Amino acid sequence: MEPYKIKKIILENIVELKLLVLIKIYLVVNVSRIVIYQEQIEKQKKIPPLPVEIDKEKKYEVEKILNRRDMREKPKYLVK
């Protein structure tokens, strides 16, 4: 996906974005939510590790749990 483009400046701190119709977000945003787009450097691309098969199920080895939250009464974990 390409970076978003600014369609017009409404106020000093509010802009309207030019987006595809398929993207379901509000077009008018505060400039504090906008950051300058930077291309990824080749070595920055992270390839997720391959799963390990245990009893014909794919499993991943978790190095560290960074965060936890509940979504629809089920725990979700941010892992490293």
Domain of 72 in residue numbering reads as 49-79
Please state, in angstroms and rounded to a whole number, the distance separating the CA atoms of residues 30 and 37. 16
Q: Is residue 72 part of a domain?
A: yes
DSSP code at position 40? P
Domain tally, the chain: 1
Instruction: Taking residues 23-27, report their average pLDDT.
Output: 78
Q: Is residue 71 part of a domain?
A: yes
Q: Is residue 70 part of a domain?
A: yes
User: Which pLDDT band holds residue 44 (cuts at 50, 70, 90)?
Assistant: low
Q: Is residue 8 part of a domain?
A: no
Give the model's pLDDT for residue 2: 61
Instruction: Taking residues 34-55, report their average pLDDT.
Output: 72
